[in-house]
Chains A and B, each alone.
Chain A
């Protein structure tokens, strides 16, 4: 072994170690930020390792440098700008977009190698080796394309650019997707038989498959899909590693692929859904219209902001249940103002965070952290649920399905079995909501009908602002 090979070997080994430590560290609050930087450092290290290896062996042509620099600058620039500009509320779709581009990158590498076989040994491959080569190219294209189109569809749906077309909820979609899957299998075998042009067929049908699989999935399940697609992009990277013969790519890709799978599983558990039902069950709302059609409310109590303020003032313990609606209204900062006032009056304030509050697990924590809510006030569901009976007032802000008692009481409900926050146990519940529309699942919320629940209608931000005014009039929060 000559020197460049040894140096690359050492750098690769170091990079893998640091990446593993990075992923490990990302799963603990204390070490997460450093771990993220460590992983970023490991990635740059791996680039340095690869470039120095080529400089020390074959050398890098000027022309190659030019294209490397063009690609790097454009990609990094756009990535950095988007990462800096994007609001915290659209984090899920941003991750989806980044993820899709990673998949696209693997696809392009495989496509490039397939159309223009890399010089240097590839011409005189024996049958076994060329088979492996073709299989890894196909896998890379197949998974890469699904990751790309799937992520883009997921992003578009989360952004509200795409809705769920009606036909995708019928059984037809399974048939369509099976056709795409079979077609990609045919393209795959054709490719192995030496018909290079069928690679385009593979690209097209696997892209369509990515769309066909993602499109029917409802908005509430999207985070799980994104996490799964994230796992796919790892697999695509590992496949690309086989294509260009890079162990580092294979290890890193496999790590992300496996870690993504675990994370997907954890998320499914939080929503009481199995991965199979998320992928093939269609959107939850479509099922619910069939099973629980009775969406009529019979006993709605609505009340004014003033009443709400009076009740809050008299409370000893208040639990806030934030949901995605809060984030949409950008009201997390206003909410913080309200709770500050309450705290100044000696009222205990706690935030109850459902595992899937917001649109992604942990998303709500990020949003509240942005509004400077102390970390200790955020309580997870299992911790906070026993506290509800001893709570005077619960303020539900833009959350819906996660506080639906149906999930506990009504075994015919599609929500049945999903872990929910037992807000109805509290003395008074205020639900701040724009109107009577249903939540993500499209299911009627029995909570709204309960005698101890009052609805405060209005935009979350406006209601909270009014609330601040009312509390001020009552002298809450002033010394």
Chain B
């Protein structure tokens, strides 16, 4: 991938992010923040790449593995906690008599 096309990707990705959340009801600020936060754990892919390309370099394997751990902590925890919050909103109709 050439650097220029990566810059294009960066630009378009940012524009997409700006467009995606226009009107968010305040109710959803916390879950949205927490969900977006989980997505930022996508660096786990970078950590995976590091481990795969380490080729037996043990210190690098360890750094990659710790990095992967941190990222997955972010991802798994983030999605679970968001789901827990959102579950409280959707539970409402079934509970009403």
A279 at the interface (CB under 8 A from B): no
Q: Are B76 and A71 in contact (CB under 8 A)?
A: no
- Chain A proximity mask over B15-27: 1 for CB below 8 Å, otherwise 0: 1111011111111
Q: How far is the CB of A406 from chain B (nearest CB, A)?
A: 23
Looking at B28, B31, B62, B87, which has the most chain A CB atoms within 10 Å of its CB?
B31
Q: Are B33 and A95 in contact (CB under 8 A)?
A: yes
A275 at the interface (CB under 8 A from B): no
A435 at the interface (CB under 8 A from B): no
Q: Are A72 and B68 in contact (CB under 8 A)?
A: yes
Q: Are B87 and A71 in contact (CB under 8 A)?
A: no
Q: Are A247 and B39 in contact (CB under 8 A)?
A: no
Q: How far is the CB of B91 from chain A (nearest CB, A)?
A: 8
- Closest chain A residue to B27, Cβ basis: A365
- Closest chain B residue to A241, Cβ basis: B46
9-residue interface stretch from A82-90, A285-293, A304-312, A453-461: A82-90
- Residues on the A chain within 8 Å of B39, using CB: 19, 22-23, 39, 43, 234, 252, 255-256
Q: How far is the CB of B88 from chain A (nearest CB, A)?
A: 4
Q: Are B73 and A270 in contact (CB under 8 A)?
A: no
Looking at A40, A227, A248, A360, which has the most chain B CB atoms within 10 Å of its CB?
A40
> With A112-B64, A255-B39, A374-B96 in contact, do A72 and B26 touch (Cβ < 8 Å)?
no
Q: Are B18 and A258 in contact (CB under 8 A)?
A: yes
- Residues on the A chain within 8 Å of B25, using CB: 27-29, 362, 380
- Residues on the B chain within 8 Å of A244, using CB: 45-46, 49-50
Q: Are A64 and B35 in contact (CB under 8 A)?
A: no
Dominant SS among interface residues on chain A: helix
Alpha-carbon distance A115/B61, docked complex (angstroms) = 12
Interface residues on B, range: 35 or more
A20 at the interface (CB under 8 A from B): yes
Q: Are A86 and B81 in contact (CB under 8 A)?
A: yes
- Residues on the A chain within 8 Å of B71, using CB: 75, 101-102, 105
- Residues on the B chain within 8 Å of A39, using CB: 35, 38-39, 79
> With A101-B70, A105-B68, A375-B89 in contact, do A40 and B20 touch (Cβ < 8 Å)?
no
- Residues on the B chain within 8 Å of A201, using CB: none
- Closest chain B residue to A42, Cβ basis: B39
A347 at the interface (CB under 8 A from B): no
Looking at B16, B40, B56, which has the most chain A CB atoms within 10 Å of its CB?
B40
Q: Are A372 and B36 in contact (CB under 8 A)?
A: no
Alpha-carbon distance A58/B55, docked complex (angstroms) = 11
A54 at the interface (CB under 8 A from B): yes
20 inter-chain pairs at a CB distance below 8 angstroms, sorted by A residue, are: A23-B39, A26-B21, A29-B27, A32-B86, A61-B55, A71-B68, A80-B80, A84-B84, A108-B70, A113-B50, A118-B53, A230-B36, A254-B10, A254-B12, A258-B13, A260-B33, A263-B21, A263-B36, A365-B27, A366-B31
A51-B48, A362-B25 known; 14 new pairs, CB 8 Å cut-off, are A29-B25, A43-B79, A67-B51, A68-B52, A76-B72, A98-B78, A99-B37, A105-B43, A230-B40, A243-B46, A254-B16, A255-B14, A365-B27, A380-B26
- 6 closest residue pairs by CB, A with B: A258-B17, A79-B77, A254-B13, A75-B72, A83-B80, A75-B69
